[in-house]
Structure 1
Amino acid sequence: MLQAAARRGGLRLLGAPHRPSQALIDASGAQRLYSAGIDGARAGVQTAETSSPASAPKAPAVLQLHSDEEVQTALNALGAHGLAILDFTAVWCPPCKMIAPLYEQLAASHPAINFYKVDIDGEAVRGTVLEQAVSSVPTFVSYRGGKRLDQFSGADRAALQLMVDALSSAAA
């Protein structure tokens, strides 16, 4: 009832009038949030831009795999030519924390490569950790078409960059 009755001037009001925030969608489809009610009276009307409904939320560049089955599914999904890097890591590992921003940056700038993280302390990934012979963290393993190509351990920024560059050239 409120949505249909409140359509004015190219704006459509979403929400109920007793809510402290209202969402308005302008003619371009962009959604704006307005604070009103007591909060709005105290601070004036405030707006916050949100994404257009037409744009889908962006998937994270690095996906967390929580079980042996998820790892196997991810590798099987690569097909014959898909590329991936698995980062075997642990939350308590300082070198893992040190190299994580670079790993995420590389993931964001190389969309042709699938970047995954596997926390070695998860009980559900024990089989994968043993199968991949992970003895220290961080350990990075690269794949093409589900087949293992390369592996190194340690927070070596240059080695990680070389691994990504090698996979990128394989994608071309």
Structure 2
Amino acid sequence: VLVNNAGINRAGPLDTVTEEDWDDIMAVNLKGPFLVSQEVLPMMVGTGGGRIINIASVSGLYGGPTTAHYAASKAGLISLTQVLARWGADHNIFVNSISPGIIETDLTREELRTGGGKNVVGLTLLKRPGQVEDVASIAVMLASDEQNYMTGQTISPNGGSYFAD
């Protein structure tokens, strides 16, 4: 099982994103998972199959006004997931992605309570952030032998972000 979970973001309006910002985010969020997957695929083929889980973002499904480069990188990762799934199907390799919404972690906790993150949480139907376990439980399911008919898909635990007014 390979879980591609590296990611960085530098939020800012589109007109402030530098080429360096763009390149740095693409390198970590898209190029990294591509290269690691490319390295691991022959081993998975040799052992009769495997699982790749890419951690994308709800931003990859619909961009935000201050995350053009981040959203593009995560949309690219979702597309890469589909490409890898097509390739891997003949080799018993299942490839899926998880696109979480706002998740409470050590890195986001303070922002969620006091800053702009509080406003984002208010835009979800559930009016609360997700927890790490909400994402981890999906990853465990995707990694398990209990799931043998899902590939090329994106699951988005996001508290109903799409449906809020």
Normalised TM-score (structure 2): 0.26
Q: Which has the higher contact order (CA 8 A, sep 6+)?
A: 2
Task: Name whichever structure is richer in strand by fraction.
Answer: 1
Task: Name whichever structure is richer in helix by fraction.
Answer: 2
> Which protein shows a greater Rg?
1
Normalised TM-score (structure 1): 0.25
